[in-house]
Amino acid sequence: MDNNLGNSESFIGLNWIISDASRGFFFVLASHKMQERIANTYTEDNIAKLNYSDIRQYNDLRLYDEQNTEHYRFNVLSKFADDNIEKKIFFILNFQIPFPTEDDIHALNFSRDWIADKNKIWVFFMTAELEKRLYLSATDFHSYCNLKVKFEDIGIEETKQELLNLSDNILTIYQTNEIKERLARYKEMEDEYLSYFEIAPDGTVQLVKKELSDSQLLAIANMLDNIAELYEKIGDYKNAIKIHKKVLLIREKILGLQHPDTAESYNNIGNVYDDIGDYNKALEYYNKALEIREEVFGLQHRDTATSYNNIGVVYGDIGDYNKALAYHYKALEIKEKILGFQHFNTAQSYSNIGYVYYRMGDYNKALEYYNKALEISEKVLDFQHPDIAIFNNNIGVVYGNIGDYNKALTYHYKALEIKEKILGFQHPDVADSYNNIGSVYGDMGNYNKALEYYNKALEIYKKVLGKEHPNTKIVLESIEILHSNDKQNN
């Protein structure tokens, strides 16, 4: 990479790993100083950092490596993962340090599978020189790498500023155009991987790439899983399901029916069916995921709670509110027990329960749970966080429904303020807030103000989503109704 170009693309790649990956091995190639500069810019609660150059931190753990003089020399990573079991992402800094000899590097092959079995996102920060040595002497470990990101040296202040300048790109990484560009970059790899499958005469999908090892197939499955999630984000559900089902085939074949990754595939397919409104199929796959998770993890595990939550969402969508509440309360009970009452995931369960009560028309209960979600999130998240905006928006919607328009506006304006600061002024989520504010003003009979905000929403929807998008059409209909009401009143 040309130093004059900075590390913009590299930061986007690393943020893709943090935002989109579900698990796997990822390599960040950078100098010793640059590794720490990069890592210091990420302070998310779901990231745990192990720095091999931090003598005090590593000395507390190195005994777990020194006890093993044979093949399995990297128990320090297992110990670190167990100590930070609530974290999803592990930054392993200065990974070049514990490899004085080629034998040390080769030993990493033997530890590969149990590192992968932690079902975490492992981001190994290393020098480019070590990455070459891994390729030659730790081929099995290296083959698990899903993505490499290379950084050039720049100063710490430049690093922070570069990431700050990229914030709009990072925070809007799910926008359709950006995802399409990314999928285009992955297209050749996607086509190659999908060519390893064929449709049998009976309609079943079969693997035809027999010479690939199980580890290679599982690495391919992880990458295809990420690609399928990108298709889901842009609404290409046909491709998302097609790829997710191929991933499921690999995991069932290699890992079996009672494995967390197999459950994850069932869950991912359920997500897509839920997105397209095929609720029977969604429940079918969500229940399969739940069955495995209850068997593998037990009834007191966050993945089990996730399955309860997902099933609750589907029952809420089909209007079976009693079942929806039953599953959401099961999820909440687990989260309160294993994560505590002041955790963001617990707040999400409160919000989900609030939404069911809102759908039932029990606005007092809805406000009770929405306010619990907001109270927790304001304690554990930075104030300028998208989810705090969502919770404010939800409360605003409830107040609008019970006719307390001043409170509704207060919360909608809070949501708008956060969204404008973190997303900019041309984002669909900002337009959603404009639309909500316009709706409240319309209900108040203040048609001039309503029209002002509806038009702001319309401008963004047209520009970002296009004229044919449902959101654009909905706000156009609202404007037409507003004009009609105004004429009648005059």
> Three-state secondary structure along 7-29?
CHHHHHHHHHHHHHCCCEEEEEE
Res 489: pLDDT:
67
Looking at residue 343, its pLDDT comes to 86
Encode pLDDT of 371-402 as tens digits. 999 999 888 876 667 788 999 999 999 999 99
R_g (Cα) of the chain, nearest Å: 25
Q: Look at residue 248 in the predicted model and tell me its pLDDT.
A: 95
Over the stretch 47-78, which tens digit does the pLDDT of each residue have?
999 988 877 776 666 555 555 444 445 678 88
- 113-127, 186-200, 233-247: the lowest-pLDDT one: 186-200
pLDDT at 76: 80
Report pLDDT for 273: 94
- Contact status, residue 384 vs residue 422, Cβ threshold 8 Å: yes
> What's the Cα-to-Cα distance from 198 to each of 209, 222, 246, rounded to whole Å?
10, 19, 10
Say yes or no to pLDDT of 361 above 90. Answer: yes
pLDDT at 382: 66
**Most trustworthy range by pLDDT among 32-36, 122-126, 234-238:** 122-126
Q: How far is the CA of 227 from the CAs of 93, 108, 186, in angstroms?
A: 27, 28, 8
- Residue 355 · residue 394 · CB < 8 Å: yes
* Mean per-residue pLDDT, 267-292: 94
Instruction: Give residue-wise pLDDT tens across range 304-343.
Output: 999 999 999 999 999 999 999 999 999 999 999 988 888 8
Judge whether residue 245 has pLDDT over 90.
yes
- Report the pLDDT value the prediction gives residue 219, as an integer from 0 to 100: 83
Domains and CATH numbers, the chain: 3-170 (3.40.50), 172-296 (1.25.40.10)
Of 422, 486, 419, residue with least CA distance to 456: 419
Q: What pLDDT, on the 0 to 100 scale, is given for residue 483?
A: 83
Q: What's the pLDDT at 453?
A: 96
pTM over 0.85: no
| Long-range pairs, 446-454, Cβ under 8 A, ≥24 | 447/482, 447/485, 447/486, 450/482, 451/479, 451/482, 454/478, 454/479, 454/482
Structure confidence at residue 173 (pLDDT): 39
Residue 449 confidence class, pLDDT cut points 50, 70, 90: very high
pLDDT tens across 111-170, in order? 888 888 888 999 999 988 888 888 888 888 888 888 888 888 776 666 656 555 544 433
On the question of pLDDT at 435 being above 60, the answer is yes
Least confident interval from 35-44, 60-69, 190-199, 239-248: 60-69
For the chain, give the mean pLDDT: 84
